[in-house]
Amino acid sequence: MSEANSGVGRVTREQRGNVFLIGLDRAGKRNAFDSALLSDLSLALGEYERNGELRCAVLFAHGEHFTSGLDLMELTPKLTSGAFHYPATGIDPWGVAKPRRTKPLVIAIQGICWTAGIELMLNADVAVIAGNARFAHLEVLRGIAPSGGSTVRFTRAAGWVDAMRYMLTGEEFSAADALRMRLANEVVEPGQELGRALEYAQRIAKAAPLAVKATLHSASQALAEGEDAALANLNDLLLSLIKTEDVREGVMAMLQKREPMFKGQ
């Protein structure tokens, strides 16, 4: 149930097999991020990271809109005074501060997706957006700069010209624009975004968990430390995986022409 009338932000949690659904639940405020919603999203991601049963997470939003961004009226005094910090057992949802998420995340977006919402999308691994989604980086119109990674990730995905056009002007862009700029994997009919995101997550969850984490680690290392650092690590990653039970299971499933049953061991 949504806490739309309470003004207190939180997220819902639901486990479906090996998939963890995390839902922004402040629909009455267009899922604007106040300190409570920020903290609870961080906690939910920490729970996902530590739970060995969970192999993929889906981040979505209750209500008509994904998020209108940060609730600056509530957050500004806390940020100014240094009173806001992510919980010790949480993970920064934007992947700016360490420790960062090491397991895959699929995101489903509908309606308004402004500022911090765009940066959540850019920090996800797979993004599905509804055709009615609308995006805007409004920070420069509020006197601040994007602080959740867009200055790095938006420019990397879309290229300098497109990224700067939208980050420096606050101009709105559409779902079709987001797809063109490689910010999302696909655009679907409104109402179908969560179902499609779940399809991706379930397919990821069927893959070998250690191999999925190793793939994410290598790609993330290349972005953070450079190609040489990631390439130098590839043989060690392969050797660590080749000894696992999941590799034996993958080979046997191939020979027996059946679906593999990976255990993450």
pLDDT in tens, 230-264: 999 999 999 999 999 999 999 998 999 999 999 98
pTM for the full predicted model: 0.94
Amino acid at 122: L
Within 9-127, residue ranges assigned H as helices are: 35-50, 72-81, 116-123
pLDDT in tens, 39-82: 999 999 999 999 999 999 999 999 999 999 999 998 888 888 88
Terminal alpha carbon distance of the chain: 37
Mean pLDDT value across the chain: 94
From residue 153, give the alpha-carbon distance in Å to each of 110, 147, 160, 221, 251: 21, 11, 10, 14, 37
